[in-house]
Amino acid sequence: MSVPLVPKLLRAHLTELAENNRRLDERGQWDSRNLEIEHSVLPRAEGSAKVRIGDTIVYAGVKFQIMTPYEDRPNQGGLMCSAEVRPLAGRKYEPGPPSAESIELGRVVDRGIRESGCIDVDSLCIIPGEKAWQVILDLFAISDDGNLFDAFAIAGIVALKEATIPAERFEVGKDSKLEVTGTPIMCSYHKVGGRFVYDASFREELGGDERIHITLGDNGNVHSLQKGLKGIFTADEFEEIMGHALERTKQISKIINSL
């Protein structure tokens, strides 16, 4: 990944904006950009979604494979999340193996979904000790205008929720819907101009500092946390963003469950 130049003017301007409770695009500190969610968009995937937040656009696709269960867990299948941010999505992404940033992105989204237990790996057994389903969630960026984390996380859970287990294609029974209990949602906050904001745009990320990702489940249960990039934050700041996350995850969960 080539590190883009951070203009000093941008950082100074973002600080002045923050001190006056403003943002580059006139949003409030906790406002999101326009969120669009589509599902069943990939003909070859067993479950899929496309999410657009502002000019950030991502796809998520669910594919199933048959795996041999681990010896110590003969009745369990598996869940694997993989994220790709390729040069297609932005000038800063270079061809070649995934950057540390892209890998972190995939793993953080993975943990949020996995730790919520929304996929019960015990229910993925086909023949104990011999065959089980592996659910593979592939996250694919089309356009990066900031906050790929939340876009991926939303696309991921939507795709899982509409996924169908292709038992017939693998000749192990009848097709059935993948059981997904609960709706884990991630909210990402970026320190811009000295304070945390929700749903940072590309320029805010460029001129900003550290970021924090919070994944909450249906009852506000905390399922994963991650702090990334250089910077220091206080307990008070964290409390404030957790408060926002509690509200916002409920909102997004409602939107997803009424699709």
Interface positions with another protein (CB under 8 A): 2, 5-10, 12-13, 16-17, 20, 22, 24, 26, 42-45, 48, 55, 57, 59, 61-63, 65, 82, 84, 86-91, 95, 97, 136, 138, 140, 142-145, 169, 202
Compute φ and ψ for 201, nearest 5 degrees: -85, 175
Q: Count the Cβ atoms, other than its own, within 10 Å of residue 73.
A: 14
Count, in order, helices (H) and strands (E) of the chain.
Answer: 5, 12
Burial class of 212 by CB neighbour count within 10 A (0 to 12, 13 to 18, 19+):
buried
Q: Which is nearer to another protein, 69 or 90 (CB)?
A: 90
Min CB(145)–another protein separation in Å: 6
In angstroms, what is the minimal distance from the CB of 250 to another protein? 29
Nearer to another protein, 144 or 213 (CB): 144
Residue whose CB is less far from another protein, 21 or 258: 21
CB of 148 to another protein, least distance (A): 12
State how beta strands 164-165 and 222-228 pair.
unpaired
In whole angstroms, how close is the CB of 156 to another protein at the nearest point?
A: 12
Nearest residue (CB) to another protein, 9 versus 100: 9
Question: How many CB atoms are located within 10 Å of the residue 2 CB?
Answer: 9
Helix (H) or strand (E) holding 160, with range, is: helix 148-161
DSSP 145: S
What span, in angstroms and rounded, lies between the C-alpha atoms of 18 and 194?
7
The distance of closest approach from Cβ of residue 87 to another protein in the complex, given in angstroms and rounded to an integer, is: 5
Q: Which is nearer to another protein, 136 or 157 (CB)?
A: 136
